[in-house]
Amino acid sequence: SQQGEEDPQALSIQEGENATMNCSYKTSINNLQWYRQNSGRGLVHLILIRSNEREKHSGRLRVTLDTSKKSSSLLITASRAADTASYFCATDARFQKLVFGTGTRLLVSP
Amino acid sequence: GAGVSQSPSNKVTEKGKDVELRCDPISGHTALYWYRQSLGQGLEFLIYFQGNSAPDKSGLPSDRFSAERTGGSVSTLTIQRTQQEDSAVYLCASSLVESQPQHFGDGTRLSIL
């Protein structure tokens, strides 16, 4: 069964705007990872945040983790058309395999 | 650099035929995963290999599905007596060790007529 659920399922914004995607999960985790998938391609790892971390940055990406609420958010600042893709969160629970969420489809219009 | 390579990239076959999908992981990666992704959907875990340990087959949907990993490197996913509901993109990923970020191939798009 799916561990992570992303919200919203789809998001449409203009270039330059920020995009925020949320992920909720059900069980305790070791870490949470975010991946991007361009159409027709495999997934690409973006960022990993450990359970003892609350916020992490990588370039225009900002990830937060709230273990008390079992949720994470991915913020993409100053979005570009090239950011158009599906974004997935994946949770790594102790002694469990990585479990992927259902994904958010992001469309960034020029 | 060499990433995860999957072949074929596309496969069209008739219902009832057997198919073999191949995955070449990144050299040195001990963990290898197979996933299935239906159109516009998330990833469905199929099977996981870690080193010399027995594979985790808990995601295989039926006994028509099997996979092996030879010499700790190349993996083959076999689907016997294919059905139309097997149509999907099959993705392979590898990681250095379990729980580390996974590196994905571009998948094999399987279409069953």
Q: Is the pLDDT of residue A105 over 70?
A: yes
pLDDT in tens, B55-75: 999 999 999 999 999 887 999
Q: Determine contact: B33 vs chain A, CB below 8 A.
A: yes
A49 Cα to chain B: minimum distance (Å)? 11
Rounded average pLDDT over A71-99: 91
Which chain A residues have a beta carbon less than 8 Å from that of B4? 42
Three-state secondary structure of A54-99: CEEEECCEEEEEECCCCEEEEEECCCCHHHCEEEEEEEECCCCCCE
Rounded average pLDDT over B44-60: 91
A1's tokens: 């069964």
The per-residue pLDDT for B1 is 54
Q: Determine contact: A88 vs chain B, CB below 8 A.
A: yes
Q: Determine contact: A44 vs chain B, CB below 8 A.
A: yes
B52's tokens: 């010399």
Question: Which carries the bigger pLDDT value, residue B63 or residue B41?
Answer: B63
Check: CB of residue B35 under 8 Å from CB of residue B45: yes
Closest partner residue to A42 (CB to CB) among B99, B101, B107 is: B107
Question: Which carries the bigger pLDDT value, residue B52 or residue A73?
Answer: A73
Q: Which of A59, A72, A76, A62 is nearest to A11 (CA)?
A: A76
pLDDT in tens, A43-54: 999 999 999 999
Q: Which of B36, B37, B42 is nearest to B65 (CA)?
A: B36
